[in-house]
Amino acid sequence: MTLRADGVTRAYGDEVVFRDVDLRVPQGEVVAIIGPSGVGKSTLLRLLGLFTPPDEGSVAVDGTDAWSLPTDDRLALRRRVGVVFQEASLFDASVARNVEYGLRVRRSWRERVHDELRALVGTTELPDTARDALDVVGLADYVDKPADSLSGGEAQRVAFARALAYDPDFLLLDEPTSDLDPRNTAVIEDAMTAAAERDIGVVVATHDMNQAQRVADRVAVLLDDSVIESGPADRVFENPRDERARKFIDGELVY
C-alpha cells in the first residue's frame, strides 16, 4: 500500500509554493521531507493528509485518487492517515480524552453518547491502543492530567500519541521534535522507526538534517519550488545528484 502525490502543484493566491512534486510513501518506510523554512513542507503534508486538494496533480491512497471521490468515501481514506502538526494543538480536556479522540470519532453515535455520559460520571476506560500509544511516548502516567497543564514538549508527545492511537496506515509528522530535548527527541525518533516496523508509512518534515539521516529510509529535498532530489536516504546523503541539494545537505546553501 502506498500514499502518493503525483505532479502536485499548490499556490496561495498567485504565490506558487511548489509545482509538479512527486512523492511516494510506501508502508513500512520512513520518508523525510527536508528543506529550508518556508519552502512548503507543511503545505505538502496538508496535501498528503487530504486536507486540501492540489491545484494540479493528484494525491492517491492505494492507487485511488482521493479527490475524485465524494466526501464520504474520501473520509475513509483520510481516516487511514494520521497527521501531527507543528503546534501540538491539544483539546482543552484530559490527556486521555485527547489520545482517544481519533478512536471516538470512528465509533457509532450511539456508542459516542454512552461514552460522553460515562465521561461525565468519570468512569471511562482508556482503550488499549490509546494506552499503548501513550506508553510509546513515555507518558503512560499522564492519563488524567489536563492538557493545559503540560509543558510544550509533553504536549508535543501527547499530540504524537493521539495520532498513533487509532493505528493509521500512514503517519505524517510536521517537525515532531521541534520542542523536545535530546532525550525525548530520541524517544520520538525511536517511535517513528518502530511505527515503520509495524508497517506504517511515516512521513516526517524536518529541517534537522541529522534527524533525517538517523530515521529516514527515503529522503526528498524540497528547495525553491520543487523536489530537486529524492531517493534512498543513503544515496541522497552520500551522493546527491543535484548540485544545490548537495550544497543544502552540506550546509553550504544558507537561507
Ligand X SMILES: Nc1ncnc2c1ncn2[C@@H]1O[C@H](COP(=O)(O)OP(=O)(O)OP(=O)(O)O)[C@@H](O)[C@H]1O
Q: How far is the CB of 33 from ligand X (least distance, A)?
A: 8
Regarding 75 and contact with another protein (CB under 8 A), the answer is yes
- CB contact at 8 A, 40 and 169: no
CB-nearer residue toward Mg ion: 3 or 39: 39
Build a one-symbol-per-residue string for 90-109: x at contacts with another protein by CB under 8 A, - elsewhere.
xxxx-------xx--xx---
End-to-end CA distance of the chain: 36
C-alpha cell at 80: 487511514
User: How wide is the angle at C-alpha 134 spanned by C-alphas 220 and 79, nearest 5°?
Assistant: 55
Of these, 3, 31, 34, 41, which contacts ligand X (CB under 6 A)? 41
Residue with grid cell 494520521, as numbered in its chain: 82
Q: How far is the CB of 1 from another protein (least distance, A)?
A: 17
* Alpha-carbon span 91 to 126, nearest angstrom: 17
Please report, for residues 185, 210, 220, the alpha-carbon distance to residue 23 in angstroms, rounded to integers and kept in the order given: 25, 21, 8
Q: How far is the CB of 166 from ligand X (least distance, A)?
A: 25
Build a one-symbol-per-residue string for 44-83: x at contacts with ligand X by CB under 6 A, - elsewhere.
----------------------------------------
Footprint (CB under 8 A) of another protein, residues 154-173: 159, 162-163, 166
Of these, 17, 25, 59, 85, which contacts another protein (CB under 8 A)? 85
DSSP code string of 149-215: GS-HHHHHHHHHHHHHTT--SEEEEESTTTT--HHHHHHHHHHHHHHHHTT-EEEEEES-HHHHHHH
Q: Which residues bind another protein (CB under 8 A)?
A: 49, 51, 75, 78-79, 82-85, 87, 89-93, 101-102, 105-106, 146, 159, 162-163, 166
